Amino acid sequence: MTIDAHTGVPAGSSALEAETQRVGHSIAGALPPAARHPIQALDGKAMQLASADQELKAALFRFVDVVPACRSMDDLARHLTGFLHEVKHPPAPLSVAMRMADSRAGRAALGAAAAAGVRHMAHRFIVGEDPRAALPVLRDAWKRGVAPSVDLLGEATVTPREADDYASRCAEALTTLTAATAQWPTRPRLEGDSHGVIPRANLSVKISALTPLLRPHAPERGQADAAERLRPLLRQAREAGAHLHIDSESLDTRDAVLDLALRLLAEPEFAAGPSAGIVLQAYLRDSPQMLHRVLNWARDAGKSRAQPLTVRLVKGAYWDHEMVQARQHGWEVPVFDAKADCDANFEDLTRRLIDANGLVRVAVASHNLRSLAHAVAYNRLRGGTDADLELQVLKGLGDGLAEALAGCELRVRAYCPVGDLVAGMAYLVRRLLENTANDSFLHDQAAGVPLDDLLSAPTPSHVLAGRP
Amino acid sequence: MKPFSNEPVLELRRADVRAELASALAESDGRGPVRVPVWIGEDRREGDELISTDPGQPDRVVAVAACASAGEVDEALRRAGEGAGKWARTPAGERARILLAAARGLRARRTRAAALAVRECAKPWPEADADVCEAIDFLEYYARGAIELAQGAPLLQVPGEHNDLRWLPRGIAAVISPWNFPIAIPCGMVAAALATGNSVVLKPAEQAPGCAQLLCEVLREAGVPADVLALLPGEGAVGAALVRDPRVHIIAFTGSAAVGLEIWRTAAETPPGQKHLKRVIAEMGGKNCVLVDADADLDEVVPAMLNSAFGYAGQKCSAAARLLCHESVHDVLVERLAGAITTLQVGQAQNLATDVPPVIEQAAQERVSAYRDKARAEGRLVEGAPVPAAGWFAPPALAAELPAESSILSEEIFGPLLAVERVRDISDACDRVDASPFALTGGLFSRNPDTVEYVAGRLPVGNLYVNREITGAMVGRQPFGGNRLSGTGTKAGGPGYLLQFVEPRTVTENTVRHGLVV
C-alpha cells in the first residue's frame, strides 16, 4: 500500500475502497434499465454475438469498414457474403443471408438490409452529418445534464488542401457551437468549477488532420505546418470563449502532438486563453512520465495562463495498433498487455491528477464504472468538490452511464463525433472493437458479471505473481 | 539455437533514438574516405581507380577503391579454388557459427554501416537502418538454413538398403551485387554461398564499394577464412570476366534485366575444360503494378503509394511504377496523389525529414528527367516541389492520361516517377499486368476477399502485397524474388534459397550381405 504524501489518503486504503464501492453502487443504481432502450438492447445482442465468435467479429468489422465504398446494394451484398464465407460456423440467420445472395433480387434485399443495419449502428455513435445537424441532439443532452465535446470525423489528411478543409470545418464548428450554445438554458453544474467558468462550446481537434506532414521519425516539419492551422483556431476559441481540446492518437505521433500543444499554449498571445486541453493515455507504460512532464509544464510555462490546462485521462483507443506495430517491428510493446495493469495505472494517474487539480482541470474518461467511482471517491476523500472533477464518456457507448452520472449530480461530458458515414467508418470500427473486446468492462457488464465483481479493485499482474 | 526472428529496426519515432544518428554520421564522416582494396587472401592492394561519392553532394568522396585487374580476377579465382575444398569439408555447424558471429559483428557496427549507406548511396536513415537489419537477418537465417540442410531429407527406406540424400557445395560463387541495397543484397548472396560451403568472390557495384568493404571486414573478422572470400571492386569488366571464367560454378546476381540476360547467355557456354553447368541465380528488374479496385480505402492507398513509388526515390527493384486504378475512383485518387506529392520533401539522405533523396548518379538523373519530359509531352505530369540544384536530385512525379503504348508504361525507369492508368475493372488491370515481361512485385487494394483471391491467382508476380505498400520484404516473412524476366524465381530470405547453391547427391547402400541385413 502506498500513502499519498500530499493528502494522506492511502491509495489502497479501506476508506478509499469503501467510498469507491459506495459511489459505484449509487451510480449503478442510477443506470437506466436496458428495457427502457429496446434499440440499444438489440444492438447489444448483435455485439454479444460478434464478441463470442472471432471469425464472425472479423467478418462484421470488415463489412462495416467497406460499406461506404460499395457502389450498389448488389455490391454490398457481394462483400457481405464474401466475408461471411470465411466464417466456419455461421449462426443460422447468416446462413439464410448467404442463401439470399444467390439471386440478384436477394442480393438487393440483403444489401439494403445490411446497409440499414450499419447506418443504424453508425447513428448510435455519430451524432450528425455536421455540427449544425448535431445541435438538437447536443442541446437535448445538455438539458439532461450532459455537456458535449464535438469531434469532427474526417478522411485521412494527405494533401495540404485536405488539411485546410479540416481547419475550416473546425473554424465553422466553433462558430456554430458558440452561437448555438449561447442560447442553451443554464446548467450550473456543467458551467463552472473552482477555477472559474467552463466554456459551453467544446471542440476536440486532431493534429494529424491539420497537416499532411506529420512523420513519426521527423516530427518538426509536421508540427510547424500544423501550428499554422492550429494558431488561428486557438485565437478563434479565445475570442469566442470556447474550449479547444487537442486529441491524442497513436504513439507514432504522441510526442509530436503533446510538444506542439504545450509549446503553442505557452505562447504569450494565448496567456489569456483559450481554455484548452490535452489527453493522457493510461494504456501506455510511460504515461506516468508523460503526466510528470505535463504537470511540470503546468507549474512552469503554463503558470501564466489565465485558464488551467484540462487533462483528459483515457485508457487509449489504439491498443491493437500499438500491439501489432510493436510486434511487427520487434519493438518493446509500449502498452500494458494485462487489463488489470492498465486499470491500476489508470487509478494511479487519476489520483495524481486529482492531487494536482490546483494546477490542471481533471477529466476522467472511461466506461469502467470502477474507474469512475474510484475517481469520484478519491476526490471526495481528499476534500474536493464534485464540481472539480469532470467525467467523460463516448456518445453511443456510454449513453446510459452518462445519464446515471448526471442523475448522481456529477459533472459529465460526452465525446460526440460528427461527420458523414465514409469519414466515420474508421472511428466506428474502433468503437466496435472496443465494445466487443472480451476483456472490456462493457463486455463484462453485458455478460451479467455481478456488480461487486465489476467494482472490485484491479490487481496488477506483479501483485498476482507475488513480486513487490 | 533460438528460432529465427527479424532484427528490430530502430524505433525512430523516439527522439532519443533519433539523436544518436547525428553523432553516428559525424563519426563516420570523421573517418574520411573509406579505402577499398582489391582483397585476395591476406593481400590488400589499395588504389584510387574508383571514386565513390555522395549522390547528394557529389564533391564529397565517400570511398576510394582499387579496381581489380584481369590478373587479379585470375588470382582471386585461383585462391578461391584453393580455399574451396577445406571450407566445403568444414561442418555446416561451424560455418553457421561463423555467420552468426558475423551477424553479431554487424550488429555491433549497425549505425556505422547505416551511416555509410546514407553517404555512399544516399539511403535515408530509416531505409539505411533497414538495409543493415536485413543483412543481419540474412546471416541469421541462412546460418540456420545451412544446419537444417545438412540434415539431408527423409527418403523412403526399405529393408536391405539405406538411402541418403545430401547436398554438397558447388565450388566457387561469383557474387555480383547492386548499389541500391548496398549491404543487405551482397550480404544475402555471400552468406548463402558461404553457409552452403562455397567460396566466394564478391564484385560489388562500382557505386557502393565502401559498403561492400565493411561487409567483407565483418565476415573476415567473424572467422571466414582468407581464401574463402575475396573482394574485387571494379566496373562491369570485372563482373564479365568472372561470369566467363570456367572455374566459376555459381553466379549470384542482382541488377538490371539487360545485364542479367547477358549473364544468363554467357553462363550457358561450356568452354573446353569446364566440367560443369553454371548455376545462375538472378534477380532482375521490374515494372511493378499496383491495382486499386473501386472498394479500396483511398486513405490507405495514398500513403502506401507515396512509400512504394517514391521511397528511396523509387530505386528499389520492388518499387511501384504503375498504378492501375478502377475508373470509378481514378480521378479522386489522382487528385489526392497529386496533392500528396507536393508534401514530399526532396533533400539530403541524412536529413530525417527527407522523403525523397537524390538518385544514385548523374546518368540516373538524366534518364528520369527524359522520362518526365516524355510524360509531359504524351499526357499529364504532376511534379512535386522544386529540388536542390547541387546533387543528383529528381522531383517525385505523377504521370497520368498516357497513351497505352507509351514506353513510360513498359520500361523500367528506376526513379521517382509513377504512372497512373484508368482501368475498366480488375480483370482489365490483370490483363495489362499479364502483358508485361516483368513479374517482380505487385500490389492490390481491395476489400473483397473474392477479388483478392482472383488477383492472387492471375498476377504472375513473385511477391503480391494486398492492402499495403509493396516494398520492404522481410527475411523469413516475405521470401523475395520475381518471375518471368524479373528473375530466376529463387526466393531470397525464403526456405528454398540455399538449394540453388548446392548439388544434390543420393547415396544408396545395399545393406544385405550373404542374405542377411547388416
Q: Dump pLDDT digits (tens) for B306-319.
A: 999 999 999 999 99
Instruction: Tell me, yes or no, whether B311 and B195 share the same domain.
Output: no
Average pLDDT (B203-224) is: 98
Question: Would the pLDDT of A422 be above 90?
Answer: no
Amino acid (one-letter) located at A242:
A
**Domain annotation covers residue B85:** yes
Using alpha carbons, select from B504, B79, B482 the residue that is nearest to residue B281: B482
**Domain annotation covers residue B316:** yes
B317 labelled catalytic: yes
CA distance B307 to B337: 12
Rounded to 10 degrees, the C-alpha dihedral A285/A289/A295/A301 comes to -130
Q: Any idea which of A80-84, A219-223, A246-250, B388-392 has the lowest mean pLDDT?
A: A80-84
Contact between chains at A212 and B296 (C-beta distance less than 8 A): no
pLDDT (0 to 100) of residue B374: 98
Shortest Cα distance from B476 to chain A (angstroms)?
13
Between CA B103 and CA B243, with CA B169 as vertex, the angle to 5 degrees is 90
Pick A376 or A52 by higher pLDDT. Answer: A376
Instruction: Tell me, yes or no, whether B279 and B323 share the same domain.
Output: no
Candidates B283, B383, B412, B469; catalytic one: B283
Query: What percent of chain A lies above the pLDDT cut of 90?
Result: 65
Q: Summarize pLDDT for A144-169 with one digit per residue, the tens.
A: 999 999 999 988 999 999 999 999 99
pLDDT (0 to 100) of residue A36: 41
pLDDT (0 to 100) of residue A45: 62
Using alpha carbons, select from B167, B481, B102, B180 the residue that is nearest to residue B360: B180
Instruction: Tell me, yes or no, whether B430 and B447 share the same domain.
Output: yes
Contact between chains at B339 and A78 (C-beta distance less than 8 A): no
Question: Which H helix or E strand runs over A415?
Answer: strand A411-418
pLDDT (0 to 100) of residue A37: 45
Instruction: Tell me, yes or no, whether B26 and B165 share the same domain.
Output: yes
Instruction: Give the nearest chain B residue to A59 (CA atoms).
Output: B449
Domain limits, CATH 3.20.20.220, in chain A: 128-418+438-464
- Band of pLDDT at residue A446, cut at 50, 70 and 90: confident
* Torsion over CA: B22, B27, B31, B35 (sign): negative
pLDDT (0 to 100) of residue A258: 98
Using alpha carbons, select from B224, B178, B181, B184 the residue that is nearest to residue B200: B224
Question: Would the pLDDT of A28 be above 60?
Answer: yes
CA distance B282 to B270: 19
Question: Which H helix or E strand runs over A234?
Answer: helix A219-240
Number of domains in chain B: 2
- Band of pLDDT at residue A438, cut at 50, 70 and 90: low
pLDDT (0 to 100) of residue A12: 67
Contact between chains at A216 and B15 (C-beta distance less than 8 A): no
Average pLDDT (A108-137) is: 88
Question: Would the pLDDT of A434 be above 80?
Answer: no
Instruction: Tell me, yes or no, whether B373 and B268 share the same domain.
Output: no
- Band of pLDDT at residue A445, cut at 50, 70 and 90: confident
Instruction: Tell me, yes or no, whether B367 and B461 share the same domain.
Output: yes
Taking CA atoms, B9 is separated from A325, B13, B190, B284, B315, in Å, by 12, 11, 22, 26, 20
- Domain carrying residue B136: 22-284+487-505
Average pLDDT (B474-497) is: 96
Instruction: Tell me, yes or no, whether B264 and B342 share the same domain.
Output: no
Instruction: Tell me, yes or no, whether B296 and B175 share the same domain.
Output: no
Instruction: Tell me, yes or no, whether B267 and B298 share the same domain.
Output: no
Using alpha carbons, select from A281, A254, A273 the residue that is nearest to residue A201: A273
- Band of pLDDT at residue A7, cut at 50, 70 and 90: low
**Domain annotation covers residue B34:** yes
Question: Would the pLDDT of B38 be above 50?
Answer: yes
Pick A102 or B200 by higher pLDDT. Answer: B200
Instruction: Give the nearest chain A residue to B299 (CA atoms).
Output: A156
Contact B321, B412 (CB under 8 A): yes
Contact B227, B54 (CB under 8 A): no
Question: Would the pLDDT of B186 be above 80?
Answer: yes
Shortest Cα distance from A287 to chain B (angstroms)?
15
pLDDT (0 to 100) of residue A48: 66
What CATH number does residue B208 fall under? 3.40.605.10
Average pLDDT, chain B: 97
**Domain annotation covers residue B13:** no
Instruction: Tell me, yes or no, whether B344 and B220 share the same domain.
Output: no
pLDDT (0 to 100) of residue A1: 40
Contact between chains at B295 and A70 (C-beta distance less than 8 A): yes
Q: Summarize pLDDT for B345-374 with one digit per residue, the tens.
A: 999 999 999 999 999 999 999 999 999 999
pLDDT (0 to 100) of residue B294: 97
pLDDT (0 to 100) of residue A92: 73
Give the ranges where A266-411 is alpha helix by DSSP (H). Answer: 287-299, 319-329, 339-355, 369-381, 399-407
Candidates A61, A155, A215, A324, partner chain B, best to mutate (most B CBs within 10 A)? A215
Average pLDDT (B36-41) is: 98
**Domain annotation covers residue B365:** yes
Domain A128-418+438-464 has CATH 3.40.309.10: no
B283 labelled catalytic: yes
Shortest Cα distance from A436 to chain B (angstroms)?
22
Using a CB–CB cut-off of 8 Å, the residues of B that contact A are 5-9, 11-15, 18, 125-126, 294-300, 302-303, 328, 336, 338-340, 342-343, 345, 351-355, 447-450
Q: Which residues lie below 8 Å from residue A228, measured CB to CB, with a gap of 6+? A: none
Instruction: Tell me, yes or no, whether B212 and B308 share the same domain.
Output: no
Shortest Cα distance from B336 to chain A (angstroms)?
7
Q: Considering only the beta carbons, identify the residue of B295, B297, B336 that sits closest to A159.
A: B336
Which residue is listed with cell 491493437?
Answer: A320
Using a CB–CB cut-off of 8 Å, the residues of A that contact B are 62, 65-66, 69-71, 75, 78-79, 82-83, 85-86, 155-156, 158-162, 212-213, 215-218, 220-221, 251-252, 255, 329-331, 426
pLDDT (0 to 100) of residue A34: 65
Instruction: Tell me, yes or no, whether B457 and B497 share the same domain.
Output: no
Question: Would the pLDDT of A427 be above 90?
Answer: no
E runs forming strands in B76-123:
none
Pick A198 or A4 by higher pLDDT. Answer: A198
Task: Please report the number of interchain residue pairs, chain A to chain B, with beta-carbon separation below 8 angstroms.
Answer: 90
pLDDT (0 to 100) of residue A448: 79
**Domain annotation covers residue B517:** no
Question: Would the pLDDT of B493 be above 60?
Answer: yes
Q: Considering only the beta carbons, identify the residue of A71, A86, A162 that sits closest to B328.
A: A71
CA distance B6 to B4: 7
- Band of pLDDT at residue A112, cut at 50, 70 and 90: confident
Average pLDDT (A88-113) is: 80
pLDDT (0 to 100) of residue A3: 46
Average pLDDT, chain A: 90
* DSSP secondary structure string for all residues of A301-326: GGGG-SSPPEEEEE--S-HHHHHHHH
pLDDT (0 to 100) of residue A91: 74
**Domain annotation covers residue B472:** no
- Band of pLDDT at residue A129, cut at 50, 70 and 90: very high
Question: Would the pLDDT of B221 be above 70?
Answer: yes
Q: Which residues lie below 8 Å from residue A340, measured CB to CB, with a gap of 6+? A: A458, A459, A460, A461, A464
What CATH number does residue B461 fall under? 3.40.309.10
Contact between chains at A66 and B447 (C-beta distance less than 8 A): yes
Question: Which H helix or E strand runs over B60?
Answer: strand B57-65
**Domain annotation covers residue B481:** no
Tell me the chain A residues in contact with residue B299 when contact means C-beta distances shorter than 8 Å. 155-156, 158, 426
Average pLDDT (A370-381) is: 97
